[in-house]
Amino acid sequence: MCNSNHQSEIKKRRTFAIISHPDAGKTTITEKMLLLGKVLRISGTVKARGSGKYAKSDWMKIEQDRGISITTSVMQFEYKNILINLLDTPGHQDFSEDTYRILTAVDCCLLVIDASKGIEERTKKLMDVSRLHNTPIITFINKLDRDSLEPIEILDQIEKELKLSCIPITWPISCGRNFKGVFHLDKKLIYLYDKLKKNHVFKNNFNYLNKSLLKKNIGSDLSIQIYEELKLISSIYSDFNKRDFLKSIITPIFFGSALANFGVNHVLESLIKWAPSPIYRNSNKRTVQPEEKNFTGFVFKIQANMDLKHHDRIAFIRIVSGKYRKGIKLKHVRIKKNIIISDAFYFIAGDRFSIKTAYPGDIIGIHNHGTIKIGDSFTEGEDINFIGIPSFAPEIFRRIFLKNPLQQKQLRKGLMQLSEEGAIQVFYPINNNHLILGAIGILQFDVVIQRLKIEYKIDAIYEKVNIILARWVTSSNKNSIDMFLNENRSYLALDNLNNLTYLAPNQANLNIITSRYVDINFNKTREQ
Ligand code: G4P
């Protein structure tokens, strides 16, 4: 086990990501957190992707062309002596499998919901992924300075659609033009929102169930309504219980307005108080604890073209245990080779910074000369492979064609390498020679065409295909698989690792097939 310094480094870390539907306010909250962490000094430095304005991580070529971000940056900042690693989850058009996989590298998630919209589609998908690891969720209901749904209605949606019990920690006093602030139910404080001064917050220390104080502070009309509301919610919702939070059974709920920087500090405070410090990860052989002395970590993302001139590729490693120090000798477990890591980096807005030491929960980037794949494990000698960094079933499909048919071999090689990096998934139908590509986000297809052109000198184009779902097919019964294969050849393909995959033209077709072949598993994820 590690020494006390190492233990205190672990204790002071929190690694989290933000889950939200586009436009719910992720970028704005990130910015306010960076302001609170004193990484930024002025508002407006971080802009929403797709806005065409400068963003802290919008720097790659394709990003610059389109004003969007397809990279992950890790923002590290300190808040009240706690070191926070905030992993950026690509959001708008740049939504991709990477976005899902980043959630496997964090220990907690902040769920951001637009108060006027409630639960939206993308939120549900991202929550499904964080459910795979039972990641604890803190919820921030944003944009209370606009007209909103009833708070109880939003909480009902969270309970029904996301299957999380809600524990309000703050409660809004009205919304939109009447937004007056929040009650902090835990601290028994009222935080008043000053519309004119925006960022300015008044704090009144009094018992909120005191009617006359309520009336004095928020006016007689609202005070009666709020008094009743507070009585009601304290009878409906239970108290916060950290154990249930860590098991992802409950989510603490906060309300506010990120734009007005109102309530974001409440979320940060709960994050440093309740979110776990870096936790264990499971490997194929045993559970690895962060306090262990020897370094271990896994690759959850590979980023190409960090430097366009050199076709530079960087593998991002989440440290699980031990300590990274410059010059460390690590075993690349899959290929059974030792390598000296002479330099590891973190990246912000295209600048790379060399890291001297890093601890569990931190993310380091190392050079990849084409040998590292998503899911690879690095250790100081032990033969273990981390599990739980899966591939996710693609949601959009295209058939890829060559403009020059003679480049078939290069195309297959290029696609193989790009799929190993996790940039795209490739499927080889059993019945024909087509090449089907699958992705989670539409931009992944554009990235592949551009990278094939620049890195492999291949001109390719796409055609739409009649596929909308993919499922990896497994069964413990070999006869069932053989029968299934014979009867459904035209829907079956192999992926780049030769895993059998069912490519369904629609949901109804998949429903029929799953009910017909009961001892076959149709998996939405597969381990690397
Ligand atoms: P995202 O990263 O989740 O996609 O959302 P982002 O923070 O970019 O916010 C989307 C829009 O919502 C932005 O407006 C942002 O200013 C606005 N917004 C975020 N939080 C709040 C809030 O608490 N209250 C209100 N009223 N608006 C909020 P935009 O007009 O699209 O962009 P911009 O011109 O302001 O950059």
For domain 281-379, give its CATH number from 3.40.50.300, 3.30.300.30, 3.40.50.170, 3.30.470.20.
Answer: 3.40.50.300
* CA pair distance 255, 465, nearest whole angstrom: 44
> For 46-58, what is the mean pLDDT?
42
Contact 14, 110 (CB under 8 A): no
**Residue 327: Cβ-neighbour burial (10 angstroms; 0-12, 13-18, 19+):** exposed
Q: Is the pLDDT of residue 314 over 60?
A: yes
188 is in an annotated binding site: no
Q: Is the pLDDT of residue 307 over 60?
A: no
Going through 368-410 in order, the beta strands assigned E by DSSP cover: 377-379, 391-392, 396-402
Q: What is the pLDDT of residue 211?
A: 72
Q: Where are the domains of the chain?
A: 10-95+107-274, 281-379, 393-527
Q: Is the pLDDT of residue 124 over 70?
A: yes
* Closest residue CA from atom 24 of ligand 1: 143
Fold of 393-527: Alpha-Beta Plaits (3.30.70)
Contact 116, 146 (CB under 8 A): yes
- Rounded to 5°, angle at Cα 470 from 469 and 476: 140
Tell me, rounded to whole angstroms, the distance of Cα 80 from its chain centroid.
24
How close is the Cα of 32 to the center of ligand 1, in Å? Answer: 12
* CA pair distance 520, 480, nearest whole angstrom: 7
> For 371-378, what is the mean pLDDT?
93
Helix axes 443-456, 408-420, angle to 10 degrees: 120
Q: Among residues of the chain, what percentage have pLDDT more than 70?
A: 88
Q: What is the pLDDT of residue 56?
A: 42
**Which residues does a 6 A CB cutoff place in the pocket of ligand 1?**
20, 22-28, 47-48, 51, 91, 142-143, 145-146, 257-259
> Which of 20, 21, 23 for a ligand 1 pocket mutation test, highest count of atoms within 8 Å of Cβ?
23
Sequence letter at residue 135: T
135 is in an annotated binding site: no
* CA pair distance 504, 469, nearest whole angstrom: 5
Give alpha helix (H) positions in 144-183. Answer: 151-161
142 is in an annotated binding site: yes
**Predicted confidence (pLDDT) per residue in 465-480, tens digit:** 999 999 999 999 999 9
Poorest-confidence range of 128-132, 219-223, 225-229, 492-496?
Answer: 219-223
CA of 219: how far to CAs of 180, 274, 453, in Å? 10, 34, 65
**Residue 105 gets which letter from DSSP?**
G
Domain 10-95+107-274 identical in fold to domain 281-379: yes
Contact 526, 390 (CB under 8 A): yes
Give the tokens for residue 202. 């008044």
Superfamily of domain 10-95+107-274: P-loop containing nucleotide triphosphate hydrolases (3.40.50.300)
What are the strands of the beta sheet with 436-439, ordered from one edge?
460-464, 396-402, 436-439, 425-429, 492-495, 500-504, 469-474, 521-523
50-59, 367-376, 385-394, 401-410 — most confident range: 385-394
How close is the Cα of 73 to the center of ligand 1, in Å? Answer: 20
> For 7-23, what is the mean pLDDT?
94
* Closest residue CA from atom 11 of ligand 1: 23
Contact 75, 26 (CB under 8 A): no
Q: What is the pLDDT of residue 510?
A: 97
How close is the Cα of 45 to the center of ligand 1, in Å? Answer: 13
Q: Is the pLDDT of residue 214 over 80?
A: no
Q: Among residues of the chain, what percentage have pLDDT more than 90?
A: 62
How close is the Cα of 255 to the center of ligand 1, in Å? Answer: 16
> For 118-128, what is the mean pLDDT?
93
How close is the Cα of 54 to the center of ligand 1, in Å? Answer: 15
Tell me, rounded to whole angstroms, the distance of Cα 81 from its chain centroid.
25
* Closest residue CA from atom 21 of ligand 1: 259
